[in-house]
Amino acid sequence: MISWRLRFKMPLRCIRLSAREISSRTVPRRAATVAQGFSPASASVAQGFSPAGAAWSCATLIAAALLASTTLAQAPTGVIRGRVDVRRTPPQLERRPNVNDLGTHAGHEPPQDWRRSVVYLESAPSRAFPDVEPQRATMDQRNETFVPHVLAVTVGTTVDFPNSDSTYHNVFSLRGPRPFDLGRYAAGKSKSVRFDRAGIVRVFCEIHSHMSAFILVFNHRYFDVTSADGRYQIGRVPPGRYTLVAWNEGAVRESRPIVIPEEGGPVEADFTLR
Ligand SMILES: [Cu+2]
């Protein structure tokens, strides 16, 4: 009987003890551990700058950023691709009577690449990180034509406008997200403009009224200018529902809903613009 009591009393006592430990010992000890673990950070905050605290904060931030980027990099994404068939009539050149036109050759053709369209997501995916790297792009002035005729860039991009002709040019934009006037400048010179607001920029030359171009400024990177045969591709699109837009010269604009499935993968979307 004694042996039974001994055998069964001990475990009971242990259970009782451990229960008491949970209520009286373990919790305060854990709380103390948490308080101790927290104290260096709060101390460094209270004392001001502390190299150890800063290193700890930096390490935490870097770890969090790495984890977030790794998670994003590993998450499946989709590719939207297709073709834009432009069937509308060629644009009529906006010829303004201008004394500066005297001496320039007449009968200008529409820009060769007027069929190039821009395909883009109407709004950026909520799961995407913004691309903050400053970019640089070029819109050349060659044979009294802006090359390319259509340029698509992200906000913060600086666009160079070199003059590759033997005559003077004067690039300007009157309205839109970034009005500017670069003044007249000679062959071989270049001037630049930084675009910090999203929108459509109409570019003209003050000397040659037949020169015009478009710069589309986006606050995300989900866009593409179609190739010579009308093809486009928008990569690394996070899963979700979007509105896809095909745009040509501001004259035609068509949109359609598009879904990137959770597992990612390619999604085809063709447009016919009339
Ligand atoms: Cu010009």
CA of 204 to the centre of ligand 1 (A): 8
CB 49 within 8 A of CB 227: no
CA of 148 to the centre of ligand 1 (A): 14
How many C-beta atoms lie closer than 10 Å to residue 254's C-beta?
Answer: 16
Contacts 24+ apart (CB under 8 A), 90-98: 90/114, 91/249, 91/251, 93/210, 93/212, 94/209, 94/210, 94/212, 95/209, 95/210, 96/209, 98/209
CA of 141 to the centre of ligand 1 (A): 7
How high is the pLDDT of residue 264? 94
- 234 has a pLDDT exceeding 60: yes
Q: Which of 61-65, 121-125, 130-134, 245-249 has the lowest mean pLDDT?
A: 61-65
CA of 2 to the centre of ligand 1 (A): 110
Task: Supply angle C-alpha 217, 218, 222, rounded to 5.
Answer: 135
CA of 216 to the centre of ligand 1 (A): 21
CA of 7 to the centre of ligand 1 (A): 103
Q: Domains of the chain, with CATH numbers?
A: 2-73 (no CATH), 77-273 (2.60.40.420)
C-alpha–C-alpha distance, residues 5 and 136, integer Å? 85
How high is the pLDDT of residue 109? 73
pTM of the model: 0.69
Question: What are the tens digits of pLDDT across the range 147-173?
Answer: 999 999 999 999 999 999 999 999 999
